[in-house]
Each structure stands twice: as structure tokens, then as C-alpha cells.
Amino acid sequence: DPDRLIQCPYDNHHRIRARRFPYHLVKCRKNHPEVEKLLATCPFNARHLVPKADLGDHILKCKDKRLIEQDIARCSSGSQRDEMNVVSTWKAPPCDEDWEKGGYFFLPCSAAFSQVLSSISAWDAVIPEMPFT
């Protein structure tokens, strides 16, 4: 339930909704660095912060451990490996370009743009001086 209240491991007076809990942990961790040194993060769920001395017990009893173990078992099963060994049938479309050939590349431009470019020369351009204000 995203609206259930969870007690903050850093401050016992904080009760946070489950959907906001990860964001609160980040903020509260910064405000309580002395408590952070006493807590350990569960390897199965980063929302589980337990005293370092109790981490071993927590790992044995953690409800999220089962989910990770199921995921690992599914990934190591033969059906998963067979799916990963599928050979791609994708082929590149034919291409007329030859990047090994030298040459220049010109962008097509409109006639009006060509006239503007031909009438302007970098040497002829006059930039008016701007007074300093």
C-alpha cells in the first residue's frame, strides 16, 4: 500500500508514506550522519536499513530475498539461456555510399540562398563599430 506509514530509521519521530520513503531516506541520511554510521543497507532492498549488528539476521529473514532468489533461478534456467542465444536475422540495408572514397560533400541549397552567399564575401563584409556604453 503506497499510503501506509513507515517509521524513518534515522529519526523515530518521522512517519513517512511508503511512496515517499526512498526520497525521505536520502534527505534524512544527510541530516543524521552519526546514525548512518550505525546502520547497514540490506543487499536485497535498499529501503531496509538495519543496525549493522543485526544485518546477518535480517539477510536470513528478509522477505525480498525470496524475490531475488526466484529471479536468479529463472535466469539460470535453460529456457532463459535459450532465449539469450537466439541469433539475430537483421541485415543492414544496401548502401551506395563509399566512405573510403575521397571527395567533398556539398549540401543542396536554394537559389536564393546561393545568391546571398555569392554576394557576400568575408573580405568585403563591413561590421559597423559599436560605441562602448
**pLDDT digit string, tens, across residues 43-62:** 999 999 999 999 999 999 99
- Residue 32, pLDDT score: 95
Specify the amino acid at residue 125: A
**pLDDT digit string, tens, across residues 111-129:** 676 667 666 655 555 555 6
- Entry pTM: 0.52
**Per the domain annotation, does 103 fall within a domain?**
no
**Per the domain annotation, does 127 fall within a domain?**
no
Length, in residues, of the chain:
133
Distance, in Å, from the CA atom of 103 to the CA atom of 89, rounded to the nearest integer, reads: 34
Q: What is the mean pLDDT of residues 51-74?
A: 91
The three cell numbers of residue 110 are 536554394
- Residue 86, pLDDT score: 72
**Per the domain annotation, does 123 fall within a domain?**
no
Percent of the residues in the chain that have a pLDDT greater than 70, as a whole number: 71
Nearest to 28 by CA among 13, 42, 18: 13
**Per the domain annotation, does 48 fall within a domain?**
yes
pLDDT value at 42 more than 80? yes
**Per the domain annotation, does 88 fall within a domain?**
no
**Per the domain annotation, does 27 fall within a domain?**
yes
pLDDT value at 69 more than 90? no
Number of separate domains in the chain: 1
**Per the domain annotation, does 20 fall within a domain?**
yes
Domain residue limits at 51: 5-61
Confidence of residue 82 (pLDDT cuts 50, 70, 90): low
Distance, in Å, from the CA atom of 43 to the CA atom of 62, rounded to the nearest integer, reads: 10
**Per the domain annotation, does 73 fall within a domain?**
no
